Amino acid sequence: MCGIVGILGIHEVAPSLVEALRRLEYRGYDSAGIATINNGHLDRRRAVGKLVNLSDLLVHNALPGKSGIGHTRWATHGAPSEANAHPHQAGPVAVVHNGIIENYKELRAELAEAGYQPQTETDTETVALLAQHLMSQGKSPTEAAMQTVDRLEGAFALAFLFDGEEDLMIAARKGSPLAIGHGDGEMFVGSDAIALAPLTDQITYLEEGDRAVLTRAGVEITDEAGRLVNREVKTIQMDAARVDKAGYKHFMAKEIAEQPSVLSGALSAYLTETGIALPEPGLDFDKIERLVMVACGTAFYACLTAKYWFERLAGIPVEVDIASEFRYREPPITPGTVALFVSQSGETADTLAALRYCQGKADKIVSVINVETSSIARESDLALPIHAGAEIGVASTKAFTCQLNALLLLALKAAQSRGRIDDDGLHEFMEALRALPGVFNIALDRDEVIAKAARQIAEARDVLFLGRGLMYPLALEGALKLKEISYIHAEAYASGELKHGPIALIDKNVPVVVLAPRDSLFDKTVSNMQEVMARGGKVCLITDAAGAKAAGEDVWQTIVMPEVREELTPLLYALPAQLLAYHAAIAKGTDVDQPRNLAKSVTVE
Ligand code: F6R
């Protein structure tokens, strides 16, 4: 979490630092701050809350200077306050940090003995204090920064700036991503390339343990052992770095609405005239005895959905786990296991740690990611991009449908290789997939009906979501979407579990969203729905025309989706689940794109 940026520029840097922070706000928005060096003198401005508060502050209290660092915070140690906001300064050193310094208490105690007292509750201030202490012992700024980094345990991306040093910045990464940008007589540092997109498209990604010494003339990178290393300079596609709402009120609304075209692009990246083409080196599906899928949050629900596909279509046994549980359980990984990790950002700390646990144990490490340059993609044997484009809204929408798409294509490819589907069967499937973006458009046309239902749901304190089979993971995803952006308490259950406890919650004040296309399990779900209605529960049924007819008149709200083949329903029914949450959040007046306490990229465990 947190976003960091640094610029050694040829113009005033404050406006560019703020613009870069705007692009990093998805990583956290509890406070923001910048520090610059002007006429050799280090100074800083910080403000609690959204970046706009920092921008306002800078209007009245400008911060000149051509060298600077900036930070947008997701609070870990210490409440969001101005004192705890970065950059942290200790004497001649200013630091911005993304990650967690795990040994900060030991370092603090050591520094206290040397007479250094912290002024904040943060772990990061310890980094600045240690560098200050080392400089007071005669170390140069570079030596002090390097020796400080040597002492740190935990995860970090850091940028240091020093009083009196207009042409020097030190950066370091371990566990948190960091990109170096190359300009014309300027150099940049950023948590990601999107932050630097208006400044440069020439990017070097630091690798684990790397440290970088930047001057306007260039960068010198050393690895953890102190060896000088060459890291490739890549040209980044600027299209992928575009960040605008394209006329929509929120990024989330735009990202929901663009799913037909995004899915169409994602499909064409993998579908050929005759089949499904995976990136090299591909996979030997015949040898797979077990698939272990690991992820967090929405990506975890994409894995739960894919379990049904891999098992039913390809006959591969699948285990799905939450990354934060998997990594500490240390499960045995038997020969013939492929480990598959799903992540939009590709930087989720728990998912990355789970991947590293499987390295050297699983036959292959496969990832399904959106950010192709991410750590998870780079550390996988095979990385499948989902081609969702930049997702800015904190609540994942188009990345979820594109994760489902990539996983379904992988399951189909496996089914074909393992002789579980013939050419005609595959061809039929591919035709249905090619038609899906058009079907998405029809689903999005139901916006008004969904908004009406959402406005009523927004009045509830608790909401239940029910689904069976492929609709169960989607019920979980629908409940997550609703709670994270509208702050309404929502829970999801497999429909069949209802009478094993949760039915006790049902009364007229608890809307129950039932996801039930007229599929092979429809009749069973309808029985569960009747049990809810018999106890006064208000059912909002999301189904197709046949399902609506069969469910009868007593349903409180019915949202009718177009018909698609059963295996594709999770992709289609994701849309009304997303729209329901979006419109409920609008009715509640919450901050849709930046809901409280959340951040887009969860780079701490
Ligand atoms: C919910 C949401 C989160 C993420 C989760 C994993 O809308 O976005 O639950 O899905 O934090 O993030 P990634 O996919 O980046 O690993």
pLDDT in tens, 109-144: 999 999 999 999 999 999 999 999 999 999 999 999
CA of 597 to the centre of ligand 1 (A): 14
CA–CA dist 141, 135 (Å, integer):
6
- pLDDT of 278 > 80? The answer is yes
Closest atom of ligand 1 relative to the 399 alpha carbon = 14
The answer to whether 463 and 502 are in contact (CB under 8 A) is no
- Asked whether the bond before 87 is cis by omega within 30 degrees of 0, the reply is yes
Helix (H, G, I), strand (E, B) or coil at 469: coil
* CA-based nearest residue to 567, from 434, 471, 435, 423: 471
Pair of tokens at residue 154: 């935990």
Instruction: Give residue 312 CA to ligand 1 midpoint distance, Å.
Output: 26
Quote the ligand 1 centre to 294 CA distance (angstroms).
Answer: 12
Output the DSSP codes for 216-283.
Answer: TTEEEEE-TTS-EE----EEPPGGGG----TT-SSHHHHHHHTHHHHHHHHHHTTB-SSSB-PPTT--
- Calculate the CA dihedral of residues 265, 269, 272, 278 and round it to 10 degrees: -150
pLDDT digits (tens, 9 = 90+) for 41-78: 999 999 999 899 999 999 889 999 999 999 999 888 88
Task: Enter the tokens of residue 431.
Answer: 């035709």
Nearest ligand 1 atom to the CA of 345 is 15
Ligand 1 site-directed mutation target among 602, 603, 605, most atoms within 8 Å of CB: 602
pLDDT tens digits, 382-427: 999 999 998 989 999 999 999 999 999 999 999 999 999 999 999 9
How far does residue 535's CA lie from ligand 1's centre (Å)?
A: 35
pLDDT value of residue 75:
85
Q: Decide: 145 and 107 in contact? Cβ < 8 Å.
A: no
Beta-strand runs (E) in 223-346: 228-229, 234-235, 290-295, 318-322, 337-343
Decide: 397 and 252 in contact? Cβ < 8 Å: yes
Structure tokens at 521: 């399990």
DSSP assigned state of 507: S
| Residues belonging to the active site | 2, 600
Q: What is the pLDDT of residues 14-37, one digit of tens each?
A: 989 999 998 888 888 899 999 999
Long-range contacts of 110-117 (CB under 8 A, 24+ apart): 116/90
Q: What percent of the chain has pLDDT over 70?
A: 99
C-alpha 378/C-alpha 232 separation (Å) is 13
Do residues 513 and 478 make contact, with C-beta atoms less than 8 angstroms apart?
A: yes
Q: Which residue CA neighbors atom 9 of ligand 1 most closely?
A: 297
The distance in angstroms from the start CA to the end CA of the chain is 10
Q: What is the mean pLDDT of residues 322-332?
A: 94
Q: Are 96 and 158 in contact (CB under 8 A)?
A: yes
| Residue 348 CA, closest ligand 1 atom number | 16
For the chain, percent of residues with pLDDT exceeding 90: 83
Residue 572 pairs in a beta bridge with none
Nearest to 582 by CA among 511, 485, 513: 485
Cα-to-centroid distance, 280 and ligand 1 (Å): 27
Say if CB 568 and CB 585 are below 8 A apart: no
Q: Are 554 and 571 in contact (CB under 8 A)?
A: no
Q: How far apart are CA 328 and CA 234, in angstroms?
A: 35
β-strand pairing of 67-73 with 154-162: unpaired
Q: Which atom of ligand 1 is nearest to the CA of 344?
A: 14
User: How are beta strands 337-343 and 290-295 bridged, if at all?
Assistant: parallel
pLDDT at 603 over 90: no
- Which residue lies with its CA nearest to atom 11 of ligand 1? 297
Atom 10 of ligand 1 has which residue's CA nearest to it?
298
Lowest mean pLDDT among 146-155, 506-515, 593-602: 593-602
Q: What is the 3-state secondary structure (H, E, C) of 53-94?
A: HHHHHHHHCCCCCCEEEEEEECCCCCCCCCCCCCCEEECCEE
Task: Single out the residue of 405, 391, 335 nearest to residue 363, CA to CA.
Answer: 335
Q: Quote the ligand 1 centre to 321 CA distance (angstroms).
A: 14
Between β-strands 382-385 and 489-494, what pairing exists: parallel, antiparallel or unpaired?
unpaired
Mean residue pLDDT across the chain: 94
**Nearest-CA residue for atom 3 of ligand 1:** 297
Asked if 474 contacts 577 with a C-beta cutoff of 8 angstroms, the reply is yes
What is the C-alpha to C-alpha distance for residues 274 and 276, in angstroms, rounded to an integer?
A: 7
Query: For residue range 255-275, what is the model confidence (pLDDT) as tens digits?
Result: 999 999 999 999 999 999 889
* Per-residue pLDDT tens over the stretch 334-363: 999 999 999 999 999 999 999 999 999 999
What does the pLDDT read at residue 239?
55
Per-residue pLDDT tens for 235-260?
A: 987 654 556 787 899 999 999 999 99
DSSP H or E run through 307: helix 297-314
Gap between the Cα atoms of 311 and 235, Å rounded: 40
- By the 10 Å C-beta count (0-12 exposed, 13-18 middle, 19+ buried), 79 is classed as exposed
Report CA(311)–ligand 1 centroid distance (Å). 24
- Mutating to test ligand 1, I would choose from 252, 298, 341 the residue with most ligand atoms within 8 A of its C-beta, which is 298
Question: Is the predicted pLDDT of residue 379 greater than 60, yes or no?
Answer: yes
Task: Please choose, from the candidates 1, 38, 2, 44, the residue with its C-alpha nearest in 3D space to the C-alpha of residue 21.
Answer: 2
The model's confidence at residue 280, banded by pLDDT at 50, 70 and 90, is: confident
Question: How crowded is residue 156: how many other Cβ atoms within 10 Å of its Cβ?
Answer: 25
CA proximity to 393, closest of 241, 244, 261, 266: 244
Q: Give the pLDDT mean for 184-201.
A: 93
**If DSSP codes are grouped into helix, strand and coil, which group holds residue 253?**
helix
Please give the pLDDT value at position 314.
Answer: 97
CA of 396 to the centre of ligand 1 (A): 6
Two tokens at 344?
Answer: 């939009």
Shortest-distance Cα residue to atom 5 of ligand 1: 297
Taking the model in full, what pTM does it have? 0.82
Atom of ligand 1 nearest to the CA of 400: 10
* β partners of residue 4: 71
Closest CA to 47 of 86, 7, 4: 86
Atom of ligand 1 nearest to the CA of 351: 16
Around ligand 1, the residues with Cβ closer than 6 Å are: 296-299, 343-345, 348, 351, 395-396, 480, 484, 602
Alpha helices in 226-258 (DSSP H): 251-257
Average pLDDT value for residue range 430-449? 94
